[in-house]
Structure 1
Amino acid sequence: MPWLALVVVVMAMAAAWLVHLVLTRYWPNPCNKAAQGARLPPGSRGFPLIGESLEFFAGSPSLELLPFFKRRQERYGPIFKTNLLGENLIVSLDPELNNLIFQQEEKLFQIWYPESLMRILGADCIIATLGSFHKHLRSLVLRLFGPENLRLVMLHDVQRIAHASLLSWLHQPSIELKQATSSMIFSVTAKRLISYDESSSSEGKLWMQFNAFLQGLLAFPLYIPGTAFYKCMQGRKNVMKILRKLLDERKKDAHRGSIDFLDLLIDDLKEKKHLMNENFALDLLFLLLFAGFETTSSGITAALRFLSDDPKALQELIEEHDNIQERRDDPDSEITWEEYKSMKFTSHVIHEALRLGNIAPVMFRKAIEDVHIKGYTIPKGSKIMINPSSAHLNPKIYNDPNAFNPWRWKDRAEPVGGASKEFMVFGGGLRLCVGADFAKMQIAIFLHCLVTKYRWKVIKEGTMVLSPGLQFPDGFHIQLLPKA
């Protein structure tokens, strides 16, 4: 009966409130106890158990700063406390604090992520590792995504797949760009990671298992069929089963040698010099497969969405790439590394699309010492949420910040190494995204292959929203046509 269900819900909420009251009154947070007499950041923890999660996940119907952050910044300032995903958090919208966190990695702060997110990414994921082991894992990944391999191997792979994908889209009545580019980019990274070939795989479209991940990563952790979190966990289960099977098969092939990244991990496992074990190896593969295509496909889709509404920017982009092609002896020859590095306006377009798209909506850290800043004390043990969009959409940093204006980057120094305290799309400090250069290269090469041979017509524009990450709820549908 409906009334009986209502009574149960009310009783459950009342019980939760009593537990919350007892815990906060009689078992105070040790962080608060340690900081007695100190001025803690203002804010509210919200309701028992759910905190302020409902408002946070409500998202925004635009690319402007999430209303959740905007309202609290206006009320409390850029540093405040809240409760999300069942965790007490201090939120930082403050560029100075954000920069301090990145610069003092593993000194004043260390990596931390909510338990729900770690359940999805894996307890042994690289983002949870510290110190020398993190450096070791990072050095392994850089053998795939580092500058030398990008120049000698990945540049060719990206061009080949981009040309083949674009040709397959030609004359189709409609292409949903986010989905199409996800498949394209996944094929590049999966080939080098696990020698995966969708056309010959018995597992079907592996990348589709990751399809619900962006929604599930920052969803409320309810493991109930039908919820985003449940779909996300089911996707993880399916992918990990495939990766485990592949690892077991590879271990039996002792004479294969190092051909892809999985082989490299198996060689590392054999050495037994580090903390590496099979769980670490599988979680690392899982993260690289996901991160390698999800963020980049979102970046490409956002860039084309902005360019479709800005003929002037599109024309300047086309002229840059036509000029590159005209300077070649053979117009159809592959892009060289020097040509890629000469794509200045393309780089401006990419930085601007990523700034507005805010691909990584939040990042997390934990204070390992008491930190005093802006008149507040952040107690040791405090969990911190960093919001990059507060800098990316700050009118004091970027004039008319909600406008797509790639020319603004002509007068700004581009982020050294891909990050600065004003540009945190790829994080910063010791935890700067190891695939940042690879992502930017993929977007640039795709744009070159696109605008030198094709044009496109928007079939269904759709919308871009932050909820809290970048999403395209109605898709972005285009028709690809030969260049006139």
Structure 2
Amino acid sequence: MMWSVNVFACLAALIIISLSHWVYRWRNPKCNGKLFPGSMGLPFIGETIQLILPSQSIDIPAFVKKRMAKYGKIFRTNLVGKPVIMSCDAEFNHYVLNQEGKSVELWYMDSFAKIFHRDGGSMSVGIIHKYLRSIVLSHFGNETLREKLVIKLEAMVKQNLHSWSTQSSVDVKAEATKMLFDFTMGQLFGYDPTKSSENLSKRFTNFMQGLFSIPFNIPGTSFHKCMKNQKVVLDMIRSTLKERRVSPEKRRGDFLDDIMDDMKTHSFLTEDFIVHFIFAVTMASFEANSSALVSAIKFLTENPLVVKELKEEHEAILESRENADSGITWTEYKSMTFTSNVINETLRLANVSPGMLRRATKDVEYNGYTIPAGWTIFIVPSAVNLNPDTYEDPLKFNPWRWKELKSNVTLKNYIIFGGGGRPCTGAEFTKVSMAIFLHILVTKYSWKFIKGGTIVRNPILGFRDGLHIKLSEKSVKEMPSH
């Protein structure tokens, strides 16, 4: 009997020692140098739950602010079981973004990797990235914007704003999301919402809400719902691709047709790759743009002096035209100085992305600390964009501040459209679409706030209960004279 007790006690002691050693190793990961300070959180899930807790503020997420105060601007943590370095430091961010292809590579957390059916590094292969960047720019870059898309964007905005004005009130977030989703999908592969039985923009919105959840694909979880919504959209894109491949007469000369033609010369352009890439381009485009538009309306509603100066700029454009009914020109867009300041300030405050991800491909040394190979580097844009050392009263919507800010200051302290060797190919598209929207909004319409508008980060920026306004078309007497 005594012998059995002793064996049990020994086994229990061994288990406790093993667990203690394992927990110690979890909290103190291996490193060929000195790790940045921080906490690795709970085994398996790290500090994921703390990160995704919603906060009703436009400020830097509470998760980040708390750890910045305790550990400094660069700290370690663990998210969904992966060791992570989070950076709120402008100099380090600039350094990392310029190390891509040297000591770091583009990376996705498990949620992204599983959703897009690839490992984090595959998209960073030089030839693939160069091709993808080229084809996106050919359809959404400056030349295409100037020659084709400005006209289409203006027509889209006019049609949608007129429709909004006929309703007693509209949820701008829902309507802007649908407007930009339908337009983007239309440009990519001819999507026509009037011929679809599915509300794909709603599917996409639901997909985005589950994107930063813990990646457990179990019925009932946010990630499982995310995957189901993604499948519906992917199936529709795949169906269109297959249809065009067997029926050449249905080709439209659009993005999908161009990338299909290139399947003959680029072996990586498989059917599955194209479907997921179109999905990724749509995700990168419409959600950020719709959130930016809603944020702009929220900030304008709260700042009538900004609206006043914005109206003056756009009414001056109308008055200078020979033909008052002619469309917006590229020259007019480039002349919208104050509008550009409004857009910059909106994107600074309401950047939708919670972070930019890279992975260390080898040990990275910085200021006496070491980031081990394989660790994820999570750059936090809001921590830089809302830094009081760069922006006085950083939570205040103040477009006039951009008259004084110099490019050498914003180079490292304004992270909106990526950075380093991978700036966002849709940057100008975002700015143009916002400028056109604001031009038509302030010259042809007035609006009043109804309800909603509370900003929520969880960790993607969104709006609790949307933003509801009543939009009214101006009478002829209210229009600027020419």
Name stretches of at least 5 consecutive residues in structure 2 with no aligned partner: 1-14
Q: Identity of counterpart residues, as a percentage? A: 43
Determine the structure 2 residue equivalent to 1:78: 73
Pair 83,21 (structure 1): closer, same or farther in 2 beyond 3 Å: farther
Name stretches of at least 5 consecutive residues in structure 1 with no aligned partner: 1-15
Q: For each residue in 1:124-151, what CA deviation from the matched residue of structure 2 results, as whole angstroms up to 9, or x when unmatched?
A: 8998342121111111111111111111
The CA distance in 1 between the partners of 2:220 and 2:72, in whole Å, is: 37
Matched residues, number: 461
The CA distance in 2 between the partners of 1:288 and 1:443, in whole Å, is: 18
Which of 74, 90, 98 is equivalent to 1:95?
Answer: 90
Structure 1 residue 293: Cα displacement: 0.9
The CA distance in 2 between the partners of 1:409 and 1:260, in whole Å, is: 37
Matched, 1:393 2:386: yes
> Pairwise mapping of residues 466-477 of structure 1 onto structure 2 (< 5 A)?
466-477=457-468
Structure 1 residue 353: Cα displacement: 0.8
Which of 373, 379, 396 is equivalent to 1:403?
Answer: 396
Report if the CA contact (8 A) 2:27-2:40 is conserved.
no
Structure 1 residue 122: Cα displacement: 3.8
- Equivalent position amino acid for 1:300 in 2: L
Structure 1 residue 210: Cα displacement: 0.1
Matched, 1:254 2:248: yes
Determine the structure 2 residue equivalent to 1:267: 261
Determine the structure 2 residue equivalent to 1:217: 211
Pair 262,22 (structure 1): closer, same or farther in 2 beyond 3 Å: farther
Matched, 1:178 2:177: no
SS at match of 2:153: helix
Determine the structure 1 residue equivalent to 2:367: 374
Determine the structure 1 residue equivalent to 2:325: 332
Report if the CA contact (8 A) 2:355-2:381 is conserved.
yes
Report if the CA contact (8 A) 1:124-1:279 is conserved.
no
Determine which structure has more spread, i.e. the larger CA radius of gyration: 2
Matched, 1:233 2:227: yes
Determine the structure 2 residue equivalent to 1:3: none
Matched, 1:444 2:440: no
The CA distance in 2 between the partners of 1:454 and 1:74, in whole Å, is: 45
Q: For each residue in 1:52-76, what CA deviation from the matched residue of structure 2 results, as whole angstroms up to 9, or x when unmatched?
A: 1121111322111111111111111
Pair 17,194 (structure 1): closer, same or farther in 2 beyond 3 Å: farther
SS at match of 2:412: coil
Pair 211,257 (structure 1): closer, same or farther in 2 beyond 3 Å: closer
Structure 1 residue 188: Cα displacement: 1.7
Pair 90,282 (structure 1): closer, same or farther in 2 beyond 3 Å: same
Structure 1 residue 357: Cα displacement: 0.7
Pair 405,470 (structure 1): closer, same or farther in 2 beyond 3 Å: same
The CA distance in 1 between the partners of 2:344 and 2:137, in whole Å, is: 22
The CA distance in 1 between the partners of 2:19 and 2:136, in whole Å, is: 43
SS at match of 2:191: coil
The CA distance in 2 between the partners of 1:246 and 1:89, in whole Å, is: 39
- Equivalent position amino acid for 2:143 in 1: E
Q: For each residue in 1:342-368, what CA deviation from the matched residue of structure 2 results, as whole angstroms up to 9, or x when unmatched?
A: 111111111111111121111111112
Pair 328,21 (structure 1): closer, same or farther in 2 beyond 3 Å: farther
The CA distance in 2 between the partners of 1:129 and 1:406, in whole Å, is: 36
The CA distance in 2 between the partners of 1:225 and 1:326, in whole Å, is: 59
Determine the structure 2 residue equivalent to 1:207: 201
Pair 230,20 (structure 1): closer, same or farther in 2 beyond 3 Å: farther
The CA distance in 2 between the partners of 1:349 and 1:415, in whole Å, is: 20
SS at match of 1:396: coil
Matched, 1:155 2:150: yes
The CA distance in 1 between the partners of 2:18 and 2:168, in whole Å, is: 57
Report if the CA contact (8 A) 2:88-2:381 is conserved.
yes
